[in-house]
């Protein structure tokens, strides 16, 4: 894809939970530089606290 | 999570927050404040010695206070980054004492009490807000006694209790006496769907119903002796893919009793700490007291406490519930009030996991429009590959991992032992093999001793194999000649108390690792060219959204629609809730945009055949053939067509919600059906949904649609009754609309599937409906000029059958296409390069379909924005001389990688498409002649491990 | 081929038998589950040796038989829970393979208790530890495999 002059080369993603991580991974997969900013000391968010997810009962981490 | 921590394009800034934000879309400047961690991320190896030596013990917030942690800690075991952090509020060094224990215990000098943090100025083109939600604090409802009574837990606390690595190691015990409870109450809607002042939010928190059902099943699994689980609820909101089926399964659990009613209060017996739940069962009208050992409150989700500040910094607005406001004019849930700033997941209101994930991908697609993509920095040109064809010369590297390994295993004796293993040419030990010095040492020794196979006895290959492989590659050793032996996670950490036995085990592990290494073969990543264009199948909202997003990113897009026009079902709707947009306008704008774009639209076109694989699909249509690199399926669903249910086929005033929509579409002001204004209209819900005869799942769209139509009728003075099984108003603002409908005087009457309402007519038309009123146990007789059946969504059989046949994308039991993962891969399929958007993978509303369209576009763009796609070489290959073309492998592979090819003279042989093979190796175990080789996990390699483990035992 | 059953070797009166168990663990769930036990320091019996495969479906009956013929006292095949497989249906294939394995183990004249197929997810470190302890205990009670040429004693 052609370079578009005048546009920054990165996206800021606020929140390191499951949605923030997903957005960051999708952007990164398309060659976009991502700053993933999380307020707490680790990524993971709420989902990391869950034991399993329904209906497939996968582990949440 | 790991992937995000490791991706070269992602810079993770934890313990950080946005403090300033200015500029224009495409050119924002964001100032991020990184709060001090006091431990250097680059130096810390996560060994845990500092935690061991820290004298301060405080409650652990991750375990919602139920467990304990030190003042220097890692938030939870799988944390990313895996760097410790000092909680200075609790650290002794902040007080008059000087402790310094952690600093003294750190071999790597990673602890720095003087860390001041930093402020970073970042140039960004767009922002994605994904800050999630907070959990409602149940102590705000004093009548439930949360925080006062020991045995009242929140659902989040229960999740931690259920977790094997949680504070009770997965045992369910009640806090007051650590005994396994016999009877547990689950109380729904705590802080959600509130009526009173203290009751929290008015909306439905959406996640809690299914979460609680799941917890009931898990509780039973963990503690089989549980006698009774009592589940108090208002409506069972199982509105998502597979949710209803999951709920139905729970009904078969004998220990689980569902009680429809919101408990008024819980009282504790001060001596026994047992609980008494007071409730009125709305189905029987009975008021009862139910004694339980423990109660779990399903606490709702509320807006994040930092939303106010963040909204101010970002210059975007909040809605009345303090969630980030979505600009309604797009119909999609991704746009905030500021261009270039997008929102996804629970930051903008409550969504379940799969919708949040779709929205995240969708927001990524939106954000991509405002940035310049840069190809990832090319790695340093690797050294020319060294010749490894000679006899194996294995190097064994033993990592101490600080004291994690060496504190338990006798590394010296292991070193001596390894030197005696056949073909081992060199053995070395190192304090931290994964550190830069460790890696350099490994590289030097490989070169110095001409090692052609490398074994590292260290931690787990799941996290560190990529690191070591890269080091090998850098100096010209093929990375697949490296083997890892996990003597930390699976040995020293779990056999800590028996160092001698653990060391003996490590000897076996190293020996079998060397055995495998001797048989390793160099493998090479292949790359195949990608056709940089996309095919979108289906011209409804989902398809149009996907096509527009891809086009906005500069991609070549073909949009195929079977019908003669674009717009799909949207064009037939009147108004779109919740923002009351004109559906026609929304559709028209999208169609206009597509027409004005470079999207190649082919209406009245059908697909004949598709062959190929990711990056290289050949598409044959009734309108010509072309090649694409990726495919988005957005063919939607059908609305269920009732047969004789509720006399639909006999009475012409029994109509579907779709037919009512057509009438309302042409009606302004007063409702006029065939020249008459009806006085009484009755809706019947779940027609063709939640039934094993039609769609076993919930169709999700019908409850909010009924509410929308009921309000429209009621506002024109019509008497409206809605007969339902559960009102599932789960979309944005749907619960508020439901409340509004009740305030307007729409009557809601519940029925059960065992006792369906009866439509009674005069032979030509329906006149009234009989329905049993559950609470009063009497038959209600409701007059009806019109009966509206809320018809569910069903898969479009002809289209899905055909597409399944052409693309081999699997379908679930309900007939809709199956996502790669119900939660984490909602728009992906198991066929690489083929994505799903909208109702093709189950019922969705317009906002969700739009988000999925954008999400599928993001996934598709990730493939076709590159000109090649790299293939992992650890696949399966066929040795043609051993293949007898039995076709076993062809039938069993879910990725359709193996196929039979003609080798001339009528000789057939199996071949495995390397672009489709995922390398699971199952076909290799299936092949009756042993012709298939699972590379890197070959029979030879595994057999040699078995040989040495069992024959060379000492 | 040894289709006959031999009585287990006479146990030494004092010394306790230590089983020798081979475990095949799939990369995505069970191997990760074993790692999770480590991360959480959940201590369990050391009397097993793990061979990692990408999927439980990779484990052919031949691997299990070979292990038993070479004297393993028991074999555990461990994969992802249903619906959780990284390769969608690999664990279903593992079930099919395991059925075949059972038949062959029977013809070897071995107790079917010596082979097991189990599911452990990446988060189930506790379950992994319990499973290993329980299996080791069971095989200890069962005694050495009649095909084990040199059973280990304490």
ipTM of the complex: 0.92
Cβ of C70 under 8 Å from any chain B Cβ? yes
- Chain Cα centroid distance, residue B135: 19
Q: Do B130 and A23 touch (CB under 8 A)?
A: yes
Which pLDDT does position B505 carry in this prediction? 97
Instruction: Name the DSSP class of B846.
Output: H
Specify if C10 maps to a domain: no
Q: Do B130 and A15 touch (CB under 8 A)?
A: yes
Which pLDDT does position B242 carry in this prediction? 81
Closest-CA distance of chain A to residue B213, Å? 9
Q: Do C123 and A56 touch (CB under 8 A)?
A: no
Instruction: Say if residue B662 is preceded by a cis peptide, omega within 30 of 0.
Output: no
Q: At B367, give phi and psi (nearest 5°).
A: -65, -35
Which pLDDT does position B41 carry in this prediction? 83
What is the rounded CA–CA span in Å between residue B130 and residue B347? 6
Residue of B63, B82, B455, B494 best to disrupt the C interface, most CBs of C under 10 A: B494
What is the rounded CA–CA span in Å between residue B240 and residue B816? 13
Closest-CA distance of chain C to residue B617, Å? 22
Residues of chain B with Cβ-Cβ distance to A13 below 8 Å are 127-128, 130
Cβ of A2 under 8 Å from any chain C Cβ? no
Domain that holds residue C89: 17-143
Q: Which residues are bridge partners to B168 per DSSP? A: none
Which pLDDT does position C40 carry in this prediction? 78
Q: If we measure between CA atoms, which residue out of B554, B198, B209, B539 comes closest to residue B365?
A: B554
Which pLDDT does position B782 carry in this prediction? 95
Q: Do A15 and B81 touch (CB under 8 A)?
A: no
Residue B50: half-sphere exposure toward Cβ, Cα within 13 Å:
27
Which pLDDT does position B243 carry in this prediction? 87
Average pLDDT of chain A, as a whole number: 75
What is the rounded CA–CA span in Å between residue B234 and residue B282? 9
Which pLDDT does position A57 carry in this prediction? 37
B560 close to B620: Cβ distance less than 8 angstroms: no
CB atoms within 10 A of CB C59: 28
CATH number assigned to the domain comprising residue C92: 3.40.50
| CA dihedral sign of residues B900, B902, B906, B909 | negative
Give the position of tokens 């504190």. Answer: B407
Dig out the tokens for B43 from the structure. 């130096």
Which H/E stretch holds residue B945?
helix B939-951
Which pLDDT does position B196 carry in this prediction? 58
Structure confidence at residue A2 as a pLDDT band (50, 70, 90): very low
Specify if C24 maps to a domain: yes
Residues of chain B with Cβ-Cβ distance to A59 below 8 Å are none
Which residue of A16, A33, A47 is in closest CB contact with B14?
A: A16
B945 close to B515: Cβ distance less than 8 angstroms: yes
Q: What is the dihedral of CA B624, B628, B630, B636, to 10 degrees?
A: -10
Q: Provide the domain count of chain C.
A: 1
Specify if C3 maps to a domain: no
Structure confidence at residue A1 as a pLDDT band (50, 70, 90): very low
Closest-CA distance of chain A to residue C33, Å? 10
Exposure letters B281-318 (e unless 16+ CB within 10 A, then b):
bebeeeeeebebbbbbbbbbbbbbeebeebbebbebeb
Cβ of C153 under 8 Å from any chain B Cβ? no
Specify if C2 maps to a domain: no
Nearest CA in chain B to A54: B214
Dig out the tokens for B647 from the structure. 């006399």
Which pLDDT does position A59 carry in this prediction? 37
Give the position of tokens 């010209």. Answer: B476
Dig out the tokens for B465 from the structure. 């194999």
pLDDT in 10s for each residue of chain C, 154 residues? 444 445 444 444 568 999 999 999 999 899 999 998 887 788 999 999 999 999 999 999 999 999 999 999 999 999 998 877 888 889 999 999 999 999 999 999 999 999 999 999 887 888 999 999 999 999 999 999 999 999 999 8
Is the pLDDT reported for residue A56 higher than 60?
A: no
Nearest CA in chain C to B937: C53
Residue of B490, B502, B917 best to disrupt the C interface, most CBs of C under 10 A: B490
Q: Do B460 and C35 touch (CB under 8 A)?
A: yes
Q: Do A23 and B128 touch (CB under 8 A)?
A: yes
Nearest CA in chain C to B496: C43
Which H/E stretch holds residue C115?
strand C115-119
DSSP B551-612: HHTT-EEEEEESSSSS-TTGGG-SEETTTTEEHHHHHHHHHHHHHHSS-EEEET--EEEEEE
Q: Do A61 and C124 touch (CB under 8 A)?
A: no
Q: If we measure between CA atoms, which residue out of B915, B187, B207, B390 comes closest to residue A47?
A: B207
Q: For chain B, report the end-to-end CA distance as a whole number of angstroms.
A: 41
Specify if C149 maps to a domain: no
Residues of chain C with Cβ-Cβ distance to B502 below 8 Å are 46
Nearest CA in chain C to A50: C123
Distances (CA, A) of B591 to A46, B221, B588: 39, 52, 5
Which pLDDT does position A3 carry in this prediction? 41
Specify if C71 maps to a domain: yes
Long-range contacts for B165-168 (Cβ within 8 Å, ≥24 apart)? B165/B77, B165/C36, B165/C39, B165/C40, B165/C42, B165/C123, B165/C125, B165/C126, B166/A51, B166/B63, B166/B66, B166/B67, B167/B60, B167/B63, B167/B66, B167/B67, B168/B66
Distances (CA, A) of B564 to B568, B603, B872: 10, 5, 43
Q: Do C84 and A57 touch (CB under 8 A)?
A: yes
Q: Give me the residues of chain B with pLDDT under 50, please.
A: none
Share of chain A above pLDDT 70, in %: 64
Specify if C85 maps to a domain: yes
Nearest CA in chain B to C67: B946
Exposure letters B742-774 (e unless 16+ CB within 10 A, then b):
eeeebbbbbbeeeebbebebeeebbbbbebbeb
Which pLDDT does position B787 carry in this prediction? 95
Is the pLDDT reported for residue A55 higher than 70?
A: no
User: What is the pTM assigned to this prediction?
Assistant: 0.81
What is the rounded CA–CA span in Å between residue A27 and residue B858? 8
Q: If we measure between CA atoms, which residue out of B893, C93, C61 comes closest to residue B911?
A: B893
B725 Cβ contact list (under 8 Å, min separation 6): B685, B686, B690, B750, B751, B752, B753
Specify if C4 maps to a domain: no
Distances (CA, A) of B292 to B1, B158, B186, B197, B224: 39, 16, 10, 27, 17
């Amino acid at each position: 894809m052609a370079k578009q002059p005048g546009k920054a080369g990165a996206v800021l993603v606020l929140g390191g939970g499951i949605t923030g991580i997903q957005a960051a991974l999708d952007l990164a997969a398309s060659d976009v530089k991502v700053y993933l900013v999380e307020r707490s000391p680790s990524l993971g968010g709420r989902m990391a606290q869950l034991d399993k997810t329904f209906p497939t009962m996968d582990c949440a981490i | 999570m790991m992937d995000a921590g490791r991706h070269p394009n992602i810079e993770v800034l934890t313990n950080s927050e946005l403090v300033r934000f200015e500029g224009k879309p495409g050119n924002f400047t964001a100032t991020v404040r990184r709060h001090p961690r006091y431990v250097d991320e680059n130096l810390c190896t996560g060994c845990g010695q500092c935690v061991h030596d820290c004298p301060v013990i405080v409650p652990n917030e991750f375990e919602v206070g139920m467990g304990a942690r030190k003042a220097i800690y890692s938030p939870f075991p799988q944390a990313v980054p895996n760097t410790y952090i000092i909680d200075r509020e609790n650290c002794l060094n902040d007080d008059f004492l000087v402790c310094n224990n952690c600093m003294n215990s750190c071999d790597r000098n990673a602890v720095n009490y003087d860390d001041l943090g930093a402020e970073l100025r970042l140039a960004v083109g767009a922002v994605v807000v994904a800050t999630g939600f907070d959990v409602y604090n149940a102590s705000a409802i004093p009548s439930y006694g949360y925080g006062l009574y020991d045995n009242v837990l929140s659902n989040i606390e229960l999740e931690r209790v259920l977790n094997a690595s949680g504070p009770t190691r997965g045992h369910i015990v009640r806090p007051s006496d650590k005994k396994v409870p016999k009877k547990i109450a689950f109380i729904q809607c705590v802080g959600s769907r509130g009526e009173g002042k203290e009751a929290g939010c008015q909306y439905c928190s959406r996640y809690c119903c299914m979460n609680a059902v799941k917890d009931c099943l898990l509780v039973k699994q963990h503690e089989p002796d549980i006698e009774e689980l009592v589940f108090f609820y208002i409506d069972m909101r199982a509105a998502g893919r597979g949710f209803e089926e999951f709920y139905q399964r729970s009904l078969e659990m004998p220990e689980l009793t569902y009680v429809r009613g919101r408990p008024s209060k819980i009282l504790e017996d001060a001596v026994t700490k047992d609980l008494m739940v007071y409730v009125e069962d709305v189905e029987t009208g009975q008021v009862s007291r139910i004694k339980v050992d423990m109660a779990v409150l399903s606490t709702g989700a509320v807006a994040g406490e930092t939303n106010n500040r963040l909204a101010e910094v970002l210059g975007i607005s909040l809605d009345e519930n303090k969630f980030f406001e979505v600009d309604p004019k797009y119909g999609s849930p991704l746009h905030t009030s500021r261009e270039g700033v997008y929102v996804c997941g629970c930051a903008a209101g409550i969504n379940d996991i799969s919708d949040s994930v779709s929205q995240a991908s969708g927001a990524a697609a939106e954000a991509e429009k405002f940035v310049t993509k840069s190809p990832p920095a090319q790695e340093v040109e690797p050294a020319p590959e060294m010749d490894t064809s000679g006899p194996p010369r294995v190097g064994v590297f033993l990592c101490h991992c600080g004291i994690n390994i060496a504190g338990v295993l006798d590394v010296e004796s292991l070193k001596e032992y390894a030197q005696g293993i056949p073909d081992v040419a060199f053995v070395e030990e190192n304090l931290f093999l994964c550190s830069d010095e460790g890696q350099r040492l490994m590289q030097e020794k490989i070169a110095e001793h001409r090692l052609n196979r490398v074994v590292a006895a260290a931690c787990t290959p799941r996290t560190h194999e990529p690191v070591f492989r890269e080091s090998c590659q850098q100096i010209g050793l093929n990375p697949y000649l490296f083997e890892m032996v996990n003597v930390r996670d699976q040995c020293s950490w779990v056999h800590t108390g028996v160092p001698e036995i653990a060391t003996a085990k490590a000897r076996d592990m190293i020996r079998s690792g060397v055995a495998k290494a001797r048989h390793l073969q160099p493998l090479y990543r292949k790359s195949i060219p990608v056709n940089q264009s996309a095919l979108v199948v289906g011209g409804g909202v989902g398809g149009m959204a996907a096509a527009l997003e891809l086009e906005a990113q500069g991609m070549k897009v073909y949009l195929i629609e079977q019908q003669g026009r674009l717009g799909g079902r949207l064009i037939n709707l009147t108004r779109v809730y919740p923002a009351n947009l004109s559906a026609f306008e929304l559709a028209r704008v999208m169609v206009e945009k597509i027409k004005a774009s470079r999207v190649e639209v082919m209406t009245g076109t059908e697909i004949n055949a598709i062959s190929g694989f990711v990056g290289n699909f050949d598409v044959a249509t009734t309108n010509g053939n072309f090649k694409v690199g990726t495919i988005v399926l957005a063919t939607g669903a059908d609305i269920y067509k009732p047969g004789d249910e509720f006399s639909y086929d006999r009475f012409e005033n029994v109509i579907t919600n779709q037919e009512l929509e057509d009438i309302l579409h042409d009606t302004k002001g007063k409702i006029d059906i065939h020249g008459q204004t009806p006085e009484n209209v009755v809706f019947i819900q779940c027609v063709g949904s939640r039934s094993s005869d039609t769609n076993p799942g919930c169709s999700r769209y019908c409850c909010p649609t009924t509410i929308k139509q009921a309000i429209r009728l009621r506002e024109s003075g019509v008497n409206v009754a809605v007969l339902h099984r559960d009102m599932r108003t789960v979309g944005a603002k749907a619960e508020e609309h439901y409340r509004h409908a009740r305030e307007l005087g729409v009557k809601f009457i519940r029925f059960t599937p065992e006792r369906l309402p009866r439509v009674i007519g005069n032979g030509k038309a329906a006149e009234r409906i009989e329905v049993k009123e559950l609470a009063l146990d009497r038959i209600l007789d409701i007059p009806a000029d019109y009966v509206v059946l809320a018809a569910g969504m069903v898969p479009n059989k002809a289209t899905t059958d055909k597409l399944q046949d052409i693309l081999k994308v699997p379908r679930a039991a309900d007939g809709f296409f199956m996502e790669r993962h119900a939660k984490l891969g909602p728009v992906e399929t198991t066929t690489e390069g083929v994505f799903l958007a909208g109702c093709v993978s189950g019922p969705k509303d317009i906002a969700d379909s739009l988000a999925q369209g954008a999400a599928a576009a993001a996934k598709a763009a990730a493939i076709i924005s590159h000109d090649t796609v790299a293939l992992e070489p650890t696949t399966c290959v066929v040795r043609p001389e051993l293949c007898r073309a039995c076709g076993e492998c062809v039938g069993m592979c879910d990725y359709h990688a193996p196929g039979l090819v003609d080798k001339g003279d009528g000789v057939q042989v199996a071949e495995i498409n390397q672009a489709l093979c995922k390398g699971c190796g199952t076909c290799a175990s299936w092949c009756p002649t042993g012709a298939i080789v699972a590379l890197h996990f070959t029979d030879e390699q595994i057999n040699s491990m078995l040989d040495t483990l069992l024959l060379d035992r000492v | 081929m040894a289709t006959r059953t031999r009585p287990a070797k006479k146990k030494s009166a004092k010394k306790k038998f230590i089983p020798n168990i081979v475990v095949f663990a799939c990369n995505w769930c069970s191997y990760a589950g074993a790692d999770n036990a480590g991360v959480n320091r959940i201590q369990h019996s050391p009397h097993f040796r793990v061979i990692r495969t990408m999927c439980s479906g990779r484990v052919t009956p031949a691997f299990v038989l070979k292990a038993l013929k070479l004297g393993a006292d028991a074999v555990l095949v461990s994969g992802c829970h249903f619906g959780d497989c990284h390769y969608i249906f690999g664990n279903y294939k593992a079930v099919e393979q395991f059925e075949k394995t059972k038949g062959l183990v029977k013809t070897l004249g071995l107790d079917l208790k010596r082979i097991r197929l189990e599911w452990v997810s990446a988060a189930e470190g506790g379950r992994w530890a319990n499973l290993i302890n329980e299996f080791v205990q069971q095989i200890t009670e069962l005694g050495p495999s009649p095909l084990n040429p040199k059973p280990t004693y304490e």
